[in-house]
Amino acid sequence: MPQDALDIGSLCANDIDLTDALRRTLFLNPGRIEGSMEVLEKQAHELEKKGDKLRARINYETAGRIALAKSDVESVRRCFSRSADLETNEHLIKIFRILASKAVEAVEAAKKYYQMIGFT
């Protein structure tokens, strides 16, 4: 595979913010991820009710990353929106908000990326 074949920027129509966000969130090998998006979201909700915001945020983020791999736009939007609400680090908040607000574009770029690495 040529070096530029996995240029995420070109998959994002050179949207710099989306490119940076996807570089941080796309799985290198999504086939090795165990657990379901639904279970992670449910756990996140329960953790949130218990006041464990950090673990809730991590579960929402992981569910969002799985949603990207599954091309589930609504789940990407929902999970990364909750991640942004629970996060305290401004850089991560920006990444999560970009993914939530550009969920359609993120899913399209992720779909192309996963096809290129042989995960479909």
7 or 17, which is more confident? 17
pLDDT-based confidence at 7, cuts 50/70/90?
Answer: confident
Q: 23-43 pLDDT, tens per residue? A: 999 887 777 777 799 999 999
Mean of pLDDT values over 104-114: 93
Q: Within 10 A of 96 (CB to CB), how many other CB atoms are there?
A: 27
Q: What pTM does this model have?
A: 0.89
> How many structural domains is the chain composed of?
1
CA–CA separation, 79 and 65 (whole Å) = 9
- The mean pLDDT of the chain is 90
- Strand, helix or coil at 120? coil
Q: Could you tell me the residue range of the domain that residue 49 belongs to?
A: 3-26+35-116
Q: CB of 33 within 8 A of CB of 67?
A: no
